């Protein structure tokens, strides 16, 4: 690990070790952030969010596709301030529930830039999407078509979600493109879904959607996805002839310095656009959408913790003040992260960074190398901007952490820490 002033690519853009050897994010000293805002805390470099949003948009321009739009998969970091950054950058927003639709509308997305997903949308959620006049509803199954037929009065633009039976190399729980999936129509059922929607006055079928999985580090499955989508059509719609293709999200990120590097954003976008053009989906007037979640937010965020205890038995157990309640991914998917003492980078003591919850599996980093950690040390885990906040819980009655935005040396709280009062706020007595 770097001991100079520059840091590896897993940290937010612009991060550095300052003259005192302390990690700085968005120009803010993380030891001071921990003191001022407490720990655990999600710290986000605001500029990093802007930079990645622009990188996606520019990659689309460079690839030469006129009608290309980046749709933020809001589930990755469903925080109003984050949604607002991307709304200001001109991104669209993907939502998968009534709650996410509410967040997107509150954050200022024009309804026509909202894409509604879900494999089990309720009538209430569909009605909410129709009333808000969202740009696209992505239809997942035949029951939903029946439901939309009953609910839709004005012509609502829809896409059909298909599972192109393309398997990305990723964890089974975040692989979505295989034939035996809870998401979307199979390749075999898609033509019937296309015909059926064509018969409904209240629905206007605009195109197809697929999302093959998450944290993909290889681009080949994306090319296969496009090739499969190009085969689909029906008597009413020629294969490859729809006006919108939404290719989903899934670009992987670097969680640790040593893992294989993910493709660059422009390489990923270029590959998708070229594949679409090869299959006739890139003609003038055709719209291409992609839905990155993780790749927009993961590396923009770090989490700060404080060490509460250090125990030496077979391993060295570093117990910190957070854990599975603020980052469920290690437990859920066996996800790997790095950890560092925020003011003593470059440590060599093998440690297990453990959370404070009553589960043996509540381990944040199993193979951390820390500089002789002691109680009171501030620990930083980089690349925690995606799915940590989203999946946070109150397990063990732990209040959820704040979100602190940092930019040019200024820090501001955009979500406050939960209080103990919040834990009882919904009680009805």
Cis peptide before 123 (omega within 30 of 0): no
Nearest distance from residue 349's CB to ligand PLP, in Å? 33
**Token duo for residue 264:** 């660059």
Q: For binding to ligand PLP (CB under 6 A), which residues are involved?
A: 73, 75-76, 94, 117, 211, 214, 248-251, 291-295
* Cβ–Cβ under 8 Å, residues 35 and 43: no
Q: Which among 346, 177, 164 is positioned nearest to 250, based on CA atoms?
A: 177
Catalytic pick from 28, 93, 358, 406?
Answer: 358
3-state secondary structure of 396: helix
How many whole angstroms separate alpha carbon 246 and alpha carbon 276?
A: 11
Cβ nearer to ligand PLP, comparing 193 with 411: 193
Cβ nearer to ligand PLP, comparing 196 with 211: 211
Q: Which among 390, 328, 293, 384 is positioned nearest to 78, based on CA atoms?
A: 390
3-state secondary structure of 31: helix
* Cβ–Cβ under 8 Å, residues 280 and 230: yes
Nearest distance from residue 248's CB to ligand PLP, in Å? 5
Nearest distance from residue 289's CB to ligand PLP, in Å? 10
Residue 406 annotated among the catalytic residues of the structure: no
Nearest distance from residue 424's CB to ligand PLP, in Å? 32
Q: Which run of H or E residues covers position 353?
A: strand 349-354
Nearest distance from residue 296's CB to ligand PLP, in Å? 8
* Cβ–Cβ under 8 Å, residues 10 and 256: yes
Cβ nearer to ligand PLP, comparing 215 with 306: 215
Cβ nearer to ligand PLP, comparing 223 with 294: 294
* CA separation, residue 318 to residues 161, 215, 229, 340, 344 (Å): 45, 28, 49, 12, 15
* 108: phi then psi, degrees, rounded to nearest 5: 100, 15
* 249: phi then psi, degrees, rounded to nearest 5: -115, -150
Cβ nearer to ligand PLP, comparing 76 with 190: 76
Cβ nearer to ligand PLP, comparing 180 with 235: 180
Nearest distance from residue 370's CB to ligand PLP, in Å? 29
* 326: phi then psi, degrees, rounded to nearest 5: -110, -15
Please, what sign has the CA dihedral across residues 421, 422, 423, 426?
positive
Catalytic residue positions, numbered: 358
């Amino acid at each position: 690990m770097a001991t100079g002033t520059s840091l590896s690519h897993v940290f937010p853009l612009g991060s550095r070790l300052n003259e005192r050897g302390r990690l700085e994010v968005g120009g803010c000293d993380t030891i001071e952030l921990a003191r001022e805002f407490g720990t655990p805390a999600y710290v986000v470099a605001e500029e990093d969010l802007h930079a990645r949003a622009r990188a996606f948009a520019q990659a689309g321009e460079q690839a030469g596709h006129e009608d290309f739009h980046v749709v933020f998969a809001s589930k990755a970091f469903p925080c109003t301030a984050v949604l607002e950054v991307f709304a200001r950058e001109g991104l669209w927003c993907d939502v998968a529930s009534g709650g996410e639709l509410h967040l997107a509308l509150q954050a200022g997305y024009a309804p026509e830039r909202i894409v509604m997903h879900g494999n089990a949308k309720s009538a209430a959620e569909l009605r909410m999407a129709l009333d808000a006049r969202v740009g696209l509803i992505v239809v997942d199954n035949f029951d939903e078509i029946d439901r939309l037929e009953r609910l839709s009065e004005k012509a609502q633009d829809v896409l059909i979600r298909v599972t192109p039976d393309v398997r990305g190399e990723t964890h089974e729980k975040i692989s979505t493109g295989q034939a035996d999936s809870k998401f979307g129509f199979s390749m075999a059922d898609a033509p019937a879904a296309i015909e059926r929607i064509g018969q409904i006055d209240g629905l206007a079928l605009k195109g197809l959607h697929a999302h093959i999985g998450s944290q993909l580090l290889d681009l080949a499955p994306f090319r296969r996805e496009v090739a499969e989508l190009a085969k689909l059509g029906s008597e009413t719609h020629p294969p490859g002839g729809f006006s919108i293709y939404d290719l989903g999200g899934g670009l992987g990120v670097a969680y640790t310095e040593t893992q294989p590097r993910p493709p660059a954003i422009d390489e990923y976008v270029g590959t998708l656009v070229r594949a679409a053009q090869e299959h006739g989906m890139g003609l003038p007037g055709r719209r291409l959408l992609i839905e990155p979640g993780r790749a927009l937010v993961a590396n923009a965020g770090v989490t700060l913790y404080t060490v509460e205890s250090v125990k030496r038995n077979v391993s060295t157990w570093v117990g910190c003040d957070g854990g599975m309640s603020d980052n469920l991914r290690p437990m859920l998917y066996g996800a790997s992260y790095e950890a560092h003492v925020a003011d003593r980078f470059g440590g060599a003591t093998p440690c297990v960074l453990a959370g404070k919850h009553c589960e043996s599996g509540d381990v944040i980093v199993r193979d951390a190398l820390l500089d002789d950690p002691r109680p009171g040390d501030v620990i930083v885990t980089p690349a925690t901007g995606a799915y940590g906040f989203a999946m946070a819980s109150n397990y063990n009655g732990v209040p959820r952490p704040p979100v602190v935005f940092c930019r040019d040396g200024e820090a501001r709280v955009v979500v406050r820490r939960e209080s103990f009062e919040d834990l009882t706020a919904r009680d009805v007595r």
